[in-house]
Amino acid sequence: MKKFYVTTAIPYVNAAPHIGHALEFVETDVIARFHRLLGENVRFLSGTDDNALKNVQAAEEKGVSVADLVRINSDKFLGVIKKLNCSIDDFIRTTEKRHIDGAQALWSACKKEDVYKKSYQGLYCVGCETFYLEKDLVDGLCPEHKKKPEVVEEENYFFRLSTYQNWLLNLIESDELKIIPEFRKNEVVAFIKGGLTDFSISRSVRRAKGWGIPVPGDESQIIYVWFDALTNYITALNWQNNDPLFTDFWPADVQVIGKGITRFHAIYWPAMLKSAGIAPPKEIFVHGYVTAEGEKISKSLGNVIDPLEYIEKYGVDAVRYYLLKEIPSYNDGDFSAARFIEVYNSELANNLGNLVSRVTKLAERLTIQNPNPSKSPFDKGDFRKLIDNCSFDLAVKWIFEKWVDPTNVRLNETTPWKLEATDPKRIEILTECVSNLRQAAYHLLPFIPETAQKILDCFKGEIKALEKGLFGRIQTPLGSAASPLDRGDSTREKTVVGKIEKIEDLEDKTIKRFLVQVGEKTVRVICSDLSLKVGNKVMVALPGAEVFSPKGGKVKIKKSKVHGFESEGMLCSELELGKGTDHSRIMRLSSN
């Protein structure tokens, strides 16, 4: 039986998982489930990076031990993976003995001439856990976290990455290590051609605050978290003990990662493996980020979305469907409550769910022969190409266009409900509809497995009408300001109530900077209404909100500079809110 190994990246556990992590988990699960349907022996690995400095800092902020924090949060990640119905075979933590032994073994296995020690001064971003060159910064800030790196000077071990520049270039350009999508491959190739520099692979025990895996033979140093974390893909296979798991499943068939860690996986990781005499992975799929109302999801912005709340209220397959269909597989995509409801109602409840209900009711008591769909469409053709290219959004669209939408059209055009139950034409039409829905369900098994299996079960043996629809329509009260998915955190809406907590004078005396408490975060807004006071409750239009213009029509709010000062939104007058005609002052709200 063919072996197939697929992995997620292992996230830091400085905080609980959010919807962005969920995207990667379900994308990887689609790959695993698809290859199981092909009859392959699949191994699906996930886990957590317990050794990052960010974890140490988070524990210090909370006043708890690092061990307790990483254990609690790692359990949360595993819990989310299970709630998302991801079919993992193994979950590894980098604090486990099997990983510690394996990481130290990889260090020792690297060629002696590839590892050397030297004093170094550089710009270090704790968020990325990496050093940056001045030329790689954007306006002096980390391009990923938009924060100023720390200047760090110490003696560390380095890996001679420069030795592997030509080898890496050939590896990736030839697709021996395939990077999907193509434009990510091109980015990596351009980075390599720009010249590779050796990178630090250890940190002083002092700077690592005593947390992490010691360097073999040097207790003053901790293995750099990325050198440590990347090895999880082989330590989970017990490579250091020549376990048959490793010989059976390595090299990995697909490694799924986010765009922010491409360099580590596509450049550092293959070079480390080459130095240790281990084959590189076969393929890396790089996905984008999930955004919230156009903003990158982060705890500091107060826009973290908990996937568990959506799962508990609307079901796991509704969440999986949205992530796989609505988030572009290759680029960033937005997760919003409003769009979630729209997709749920129109595509799951009204389209797929309603169609299955109609067909089971019309075909009730019919027995359709050949209940199992053919597996041959999986082996070749457009659908297989889409999955192989990790185009999950297009694959879902293909299923609906191939099987679901034509069945709806066929049903409406032929009106079988007008024919007698025993009419051969009615039976022919319904047999065709049932066959199409079976095919749709079979193809949907990797994406929305619970729902797909329910559909397949509907059409086994004698067909029975569904007692309950697959997806109950979400009823959103007309004109309600808040989505039914709101968690009580007003930062999830675009026009929200805020309370002025601080007012700052500026050089321009015609305006002031107002620090407004909105939910759990503070928004900085420039405004010319100097009569506002601390404690006033006001309406804040956040980026993306539409307000009425004094000139007529509506305008969309964006982050902007007002008289040279950045404003993260706008305080609204009655006119701008459509509540009256007064535009001379900001509207105050009563205390209740």
Active site residues: 18, 21, 125, 128, 142, 145, 296, 299
Instruction: Give the integer Cα–Cα distance in Å for 414 and 425.
Output: 9
SS3 label, residue 271: helix
> Per-residue b/e over 251-286, b at no fewer than 16 CB within 10 Å?
bbbbbbbbebbbbbbbbbbbbbbbbbebebbbbbbb
Note every long-range contact of 270-275, with CB atoms under 8 Å and residues 24 or more positions apart, other chains counting.
Answer: 270/164, 270/168, 270/171, 270/177, 271/159, 271/161, 271/164, 271/167, 271/168, 272/106, 272/110, 272/159, 272/227, 272/230, 272/231, 274/164, 274/167, 275/109, 275/110, 275/111, 275/114, 275/159, 275/164
SS3 label, residue 244: helix
Q: Are 540 and 519 in contact (CB under 8 A)?
A: no
Tell me the torsion sign for CA atoms 490, 494, 498, 502: positive
Instruction: Give the integer Cα–Cα distance in Å for 199 and 180.
Output: 25
Q: Are 353 and 471 in contact (CB under 8 A)?
A: yes
Closest CA to 6 of 217, 276, 237: 237
Closest CA to 143 of 290, 262, 25, 59: 262
What the block records as the tokens of 254 is: 């697909």
SS3 label, residue 497: strand
Instruction: Give the integer Cα–Cα distance in Å for 297 and 305.
Output: 8
Tell me the torsion sign for CA atoms 61, 66, 68, 74: positive
Helix, strand, coil: what percent of the chain each, to 5?
40, 20, 35
Closest CA to 22 of 343, 316, 294, 299: 316
Q: Which residues pair with 6 in a beta bridge?
A: 44, 254
Strands (E) across 62-114 are located at 90-93
Q: End-to-end CA distance of the chain, in Å?
A: 67
- Identity at 69, one-letter amino acid code: L
Instruction: Give the integer Cα–Cα distance in Å for 531 and 526.
Output: 13
